Structure 1
Amino acid sequence: MTNCLPIMVQGTHSDAGKSLLVTALCRIFANKGLQTAPFKSQNMALNSYITMDGKEIGRAQGVQAEAARIQATTYMNPILIKPEGENRSQIVVHGKPFRTMQAGEYREAFYEYGKQLIKESFFKLATDYERIVIEGAGSPAEINLNERELVNMSVAAMTKAPVILVGDIDKGGVFASLVGTLQLLAPEDRQRIIGVVINKFRGDLALLQPGLHWFEDYTSLPVLGVIPFIDDLTIDAEDSLVLANYESGPNTAKALDIAVLHYPRIANFTDIDPLVLEHDCHVRFVKKRGELGTPDMIVLPGSKNTLEDLHYLWDNGLTEAIIELVEKAGTRVVGICGGYQMLGASVTDPSGIESMCSHMKGLNLIKYMTTTLTPHKRTVLVSGHVQLSGQTLLVDGYEIHMGRTERDSNGHGSHFIRLSDGEKDGFINEDEGIIGTYLHGIFANDEFRHTLLNNLCEKKGVPVAHDRCAYQSVREKSLSTLADVVETHLNMALIEQKMDEFSKG
C-alpha cells in the first residue's frame, strides 16, 4: 500500500453530505490523473447498483466509481445491508445474498467475518489505486454501537486514514453537532479528525465567519471548507430521507402530473430521477389515498418487501383508488420490479423469503399473472427493445429481483421487452395504459422516456415537448459541477498534506 493514500469522510448524522463529498473527491482526484476508487465497508441502503459482472452494491458507490471514471466492483462495498422489515435485513456479501439476519445476530455473529471482509477488500483496492476515498455511515458518535461498529472509526484505524467530519448547516445547529460529535469521540479517534467541512451553506459567508473563527479556536481544528448549497444536481440518492423533499399534492403549473407510490420498503426510487428532470412533469411521492388525486401517470417503484408493501397499499385504500383511476379516467400505470409484481393477480412467498406474509392479492391490472418469490436473486445488466406508440425503441437497464413471474396465455396484452439474449420481460396491454417490467433504469432511456411522455401529452391534449433532456449528459454535467464547486471551496492542499502525513505516521 506504499503508493496508496486514503482519506475518509464521516458525518455528524445521516444525510449530512458524506456521499456527495466522497463523489466530489473521487472526481477531483481523477481530474488530477490519479487512479481513484471509492470505498464504503458497510452500506445500509435499498437503492442498489449492478456491477458489470452482475453483482449488487450500494448505489452511491456505483455513482462514486463513475465519478472516478472507473468500473465499480464489490470491493468498493463488500457488505450491503437491505432492510426487509422491523429489525430484519438481507445481508449482501460481495454482491450476492448471504443470509437474512436480525440486528442483534448481525452485530454478534457476523462481526468478525465482516471485519475480515472489509480488511481484504480495502487492501485489494489499495494495490490497484493511488487514492481511496472512504465513506462512513450515520455518525461516529453512536456510543451505543461503537464497540463493534464496522463502518466509521474502526475502518479509519484499519486503513490508517485521516478523517474529514462533515456537518449540514441547512438543517441548523451545525456548530453544536460538530462540537458534540468531537467531544463524544474517544481520544484516539478524535486525533484522526484533520478538520471539518460545513455543507449546504446559503447566504453571506461574512456572516458565518465569526462562527468559523470560534470553532477553530475552541476545537483547534481547521474548517477545511464551507460548501455552498448546490441547486439542481442530478446525482443518485441512496437514502430515502431525500423523499421528504418531494411534494405529495398535484401542481397544475406543469402539464403532466406523475404520482409515485411511496410505500414503507420502497427500493431503487432513483428510477424516477429522469422524470423529475423533464420541465413539464410534476413528480410527487404519494403515501395516502387522499394525496393521489387524478394523475396522468402512476408509477409503482421497486420494493424490498413486495407483500408487506402491497398490504400497505390495500390498507390505505390506494389499490382501489388506482383501479378506479385506470377504469374511469384511463390513467396510465407503470410498475417496476416489485411494483410490476403488484400489478398481477397475486404475489406469494411460500418460503418466507421476504415476509411472514405468504400470500397477497395483487391489483389484478395484469390479469392471469402471478409471482412467486424464490431464493434465487437475479442481478444482471440487460438490454433489448420495446414497441411503443408504433416505434421500436432500444432500452437498457438492470434487474434485481427474487421473483418468478408467470402469465397465463388467456391474458390480453404482450411482453413489454424483448431482451438481447432472446428472453422476454414484462407486460404491456393493447392501449399501452398498463406497463410492467423488471427493468430498473427504464426511464433513463431517453428515446423511451420522451416517447412515453409525449404520448401522455397527446392523450391529455397539451403541447408535446420537443426539448426534453438527455439524462446521462445531465448526470455527467452534475458530477463535473459538483467537483468544481467543492474544489473551489475546499482546502485541497491541506487535505493532501494530511493524507501524506498520515501515510508516513
Structure 2
Amino acid sequence: MAKNLMIQGTMSGAGKSILTAGILRVLTQDGFSCAPFKSQNMALNSFVTKDGKEMGRAQVVQAAACHKEPSCDMNPILLKPMGDTTSQVIVNGLPIGNMRAADYFKMKKDLIPDIKKAYDNLSETADIIVIEGAGSPVEINLRENDIVNMGLAEILDAPVLLAGNIDPGGVFAQLLGTVNLMSAQERARVKGLIINKFRGDVSLLTPGLSMFGEYCDIPFAGVVPYVSLELDEEDSVSEKLSGKNAAINDDRPVKICVVKLPFISNYTDFSALERVDGVNLIYAKDAADLGDADLIILPGTKNTVDDLMSLYQSNVASKIIEMKQKGILIMGICGGFQMLGRTITGSDDSENKALTHKGLGLLPIDTEFVQDKTLKQTTGTIGEIEGPFKALSGAAFTGYEIHMGRTGARTKQDIFPVIVEENVLGTYIHGIFDSEDFCRRMVGILYAKKGLDFSNVRIESAFSRQERELDKLADVLRENLDFDLIYRAIGIEKQR
C-alpha cells in the first residue's frame, strides 16, 4: 500500500492545488511513483479521461506533475454548481443527478466506499499519494460528515501539512485559529505548517516564525514565495474572471473577448490564448467590453438556458448580433455553441424540459437537452471550410466533449468537428486551443484580417508550457520547503 501525505489549507485560496502539484513533481523527480487524490472537488473546470469519465482539472495538472495519465480515481466525487444551492453530482466520473446542497450533505457519507475504492486503486501502483483537502478543515458545522479534510485524513490515516495564505494578511491568526479548532487527535496529524504566497523580504517574517512557537508547537515546513505560474487554476479562486485582467495592452494588436457568463465553465479552454504575446484576451463582463473585439467567444457553461437569458437581459446578445453583422468573428464552445443556434429545447438542469428557448440565431442549429451526458475525447483534423475561417481547414486538434445537449444542423458547412455559417463558428470541443496547430491558425486569421504579419508570433504547445512551469514550481518548493521534514511526515526515506 502507498504511503501518503495530505495538504490542507486554512481557507479556500490558500494554494492547496498548486502546492500539491509542486510536491508531487518534487517526489517524482526524486524517483518515487506518485499520484494525486482529492476525494471531493467542487469546480466548473473539468476534464474527460480517455475512458470517458469526468474529473476536476486541478487533478489533471497534478497528474501531469507526476507523469501519470489522468484517472477519475484521482477525483472520485466532482460537484459542478448549477446555482447557489444545487450541483450536478458526479461519482466515479459519471453523473448521478442534480442535488440540492442539503440533500447531498445527508447522503455524502454513503460515498465513502467509492472514495476508498478509488484510493485503493491508486495505491496499487503508487509509492506515495498526495491528497488535497478542500476549503478549511475546521468548518465545525460540517465536521460530522466530513469526507474531504480531517474526516478523510482519519479514514486514510494521512499525515497533514497545513498551509496558510499570507497574501490577504493575518496568516498567523489563520494558522493558529485553524489548529486550535481541531481536536487533539486531528492536531496530532498536522506535521508541519506552510506560509504560502509570501511577497517581500523573508527575513522580516523570520522573527514571527520563532514567536509563533509560544502559541503552537507544530514546526514550520517553510515559507513559499508568491510565484507567477502559467498553470490552470481552480475556478473558485482565479483572478481571471474578476476583471483584473481586462486592461488593454496597446502593444498587442489582436483583442479576443471571452464573454463572462454567470455560470462559465472550462475557461481553461482559453489558457493558450492568454500566453500568445500578440493577443489581448479579456473576460468581457458587459456589452461595452466587446466594442473593439477581433474575435468574440461564447464559452462553455453549466447552465446554458439561464446564461442565455442573462445575455438578453444585459444587452450582450444584441451586441454580439451587431458585431456579427459588422463582420467580426464569433465563436461558441459547448454551451456557447448551443446559444449561437436558433433554439434550445429543455434545460441542462433537467427542469422545464418542454420549454423551447430562442437562441441568438447566428448558426442554423437546434439543440435539445437529453438525459444522457456525452463524455469523450476527440482527435482529428478539421475539414474544408469556406469563408473567413478557411485557414482552419486541415488543422489538427485534440480535445474533449462534456455536454447533455444533442445538436442538429442544417448547413452546408457542418464540418467535423465544427459548424460554420459565414463569420460564425461553433464546436463542442473543449481544449481545442491547446492544440498548437489550431491555435496558431486561428490567431493567424485574426492577424491577416487586420493586415498584420503573423510570421514572428510564437505559440508554445500546452504540454511544453505545463512541463516548464511544473519544473519551475518544483524548484521553488525545493528551495523553500523542508523536504527532510516532509519525508519524515510521509514515513519514507528520501532516495539519494
Normalising by structure 1, what TM-score?
0.92
The answer (yes or no) to whether the contact 1:416–1:437 under 8 Å persists in 2 is no
Using a 3 Å threshold, how does the CA distance of structure 1 residues 271 and 352 change in structure 2: closer, same or farther? closer
Aligned 1:289-438 pairs, distance under 5 A? 289-328=287-326, 330-349=327-346, 353=350, 358-367=355-364, 369-386=365-382, 387=384, 388-389=390-391, 391-408=393-410, 411=411, 413-417=412-416, 425-430=417-422, 433-438=423-428
Residues 1:34 and 2:32 are matched in the alignment: yes
1:449 to 439, 449, 470: 439
Report the Cα distance in structure 2 between the residues aligned to 1:254 and 1:294, rounded to whole angstroms. 13
Partner of 1:85: 83
Partner of 1:142: 139
The structural deviation recorded for 1:393 is 1.4
The structural deviation recorded for 1:352 is 5.2
The one-letter code matched in structure 2 to 1:449 is C
Partner of 1:95: 93
The structural deviation recorded for 1:405 is 0.3
Of 433-442 and 386-395, deviating more is 386-395
Using a 3 Å threshold, how does the CA distance of structure 1 residues 86 and 359 change in structure 2: closer, same or farther? farther
The answer (yes or no) to whether the contact 2:35–2:122 under 8 Å persists in 1 is yes
The answer (yes or no) to whether the contact 1:246–1:284 under 8 Å persists in 2 is no
SS of alignment partner, residue 172 of structure 1: coil
Report the Cα distance in structure 2 between the residues aligned to 1:351 and 1:490, rounded to whole angstroms. 45
Q: Deviation per CA, 1:316-360, whole angstroms, max 9, x where unpaired? A: 1100011111112x2111111111111101112168526689332
Report the Cα distance in structure 2 between the residues aligned to 1:390 and 1:178, rounded to whole angstroms. 52
- Structure 1 runs of 4+ aligned residues shifted over 4 Å read 354-357
Report the Cα distance in structure 2 between the residues aligned to 1:397 and 1:10, rounded to whole angstroms. 32
Partner of 1:497: 488
Using a 3 Å threshold, how does the CA distance of structure 1 residues 346 and 251 change in structure 2: closer, same or farther? farther
Report the Cα distance in structure 1 between the residues aligned to 2:352 and 2:136, rounded to whole angstroms. 30
* Structure 1 gaps, min length 5: 418-424
The answer (yes or no) to whether the contact 1:302–1:336 under 8 Å persists in 2 is yes
Report the Cα distance in structure 1 between the residues aligned to 2:470 and 2:48, rounded to whole angstroms. 19
Report the Cα distance in structure 2 between the residues aligned to 1:60 and 1:354, rounded to whole angstroms. 30
Using a 3 Å threshold, how does the CA distance of structure 1 residues 50 and 466 change in structure 2: closer, same or farther? same
Partner of 1:421: none
Residues 1:477 and 2:475 are matched in the alignment: no
The one-letter code matched in structure 2 to 1:464 is F
The structural deviation recorded for 1:429 is 2.7
The answer (yes or no) to whether the contact 1:305–1:355 under 8 Å persists in 2 is no
Of 246-255 and 163-172, deviating more is 246-255
The one-letter code matched in structure 2 to 1:49 is F
Partner of 1:159: 156
Q: Deviation per CA, 1:224-261, whole angstroms, max 9, x where unpaired? A: 11111112x22112224312264235443311111111
SS of alignment partner, residue 141 of structure 1: coil
The structural deviation recorded for 1:218 is 2.0
1:223 to 220, 225, 247: 220
Using a 3 Å threshold, how does the CA distance of structure 1 residues 102 and 350 change in structure 2: closer, same or farther? closer
Q: Deviation per CA, 1:377-399, whole angstroms, max 9, x where unpaired? A: 11111111114417411111111
Of 64-73 and 37-46, deviating more is 64-73
The answer (yes or no) to whether the contact 2:392–2:442 under 8 Å persists in 1 is no
Aligned sequence identity (%): 41
Q: Deviation per CA, 1:168-200, whole angstroms, max 9, x where unpaired? A: 112222112111111222221111111111111
The answer (yes or no) to whether the contact 2:419–2:425 under 8 Å persists in 1 is yes
The one-letter code matched in structure 2 to 1:310 is L
The answer (yes or no) to whether the contact 2:278–2:457 under 8 Å persists in 1 is no
The answer (yes or no) to whether the contact 1:9–1:164 under 8 Å persists in 2 is yes
Using a 3 Å threshold, how does the CA distance of structure 1 residues 88 and 351 change in structure 2: closer, same or farther? closer
Report the Cα distance in structure 2 between the residues aligned to 1:107 and 1:351, rounded to whole angstroms. 22
The one-letter code matched in structure 2 to 1:441 is G
The answer (yes or no) to whether the contact 2:109–2:147 under 8 Å persists in 1 is no
Aligned 1:233-312 pairs, distance under 5 A? 233-242=229-238, 243-244=241-242, 246-312=244-310
Q: CA RMSD in A?
A: 1.9
The one-letter code matched in structure 2 to 1:404 is R
Report the Cα distance in structure 1 between the residues aligned to 2:17 and 2:303, rounded to whole angstroms. 25
SS of alignment partner, residue 389 of structure 1: helix
Report the Cα distance in structure 1 between the residues aligned to 2:25 and 2:297, rounded to whole angstroms. 33
Report the Cα distance in structure 2 between the residues aligned to 1:282 and 1:173, rounded to whole angstroms. 35
The answer (yes or no) to whether the contact 2:82–2:349 under 8 Å persists in 1 is no
The one-letter code matched in structure 2 to 1:26 is L
SS of alignment partner, residue 392 of structure 1: coil
The one-letter code matched in structure 2 to 1:172 is G
The structural deviation recorded for 1:282 is 1.1
Partner of 2:387: none
Report the Cα distance in structure 1 between the residues aligned to 2:64 and 2:352, rounded to whole angstroms. 34
Of 258-267 and 248-257, deviating more is 248-257
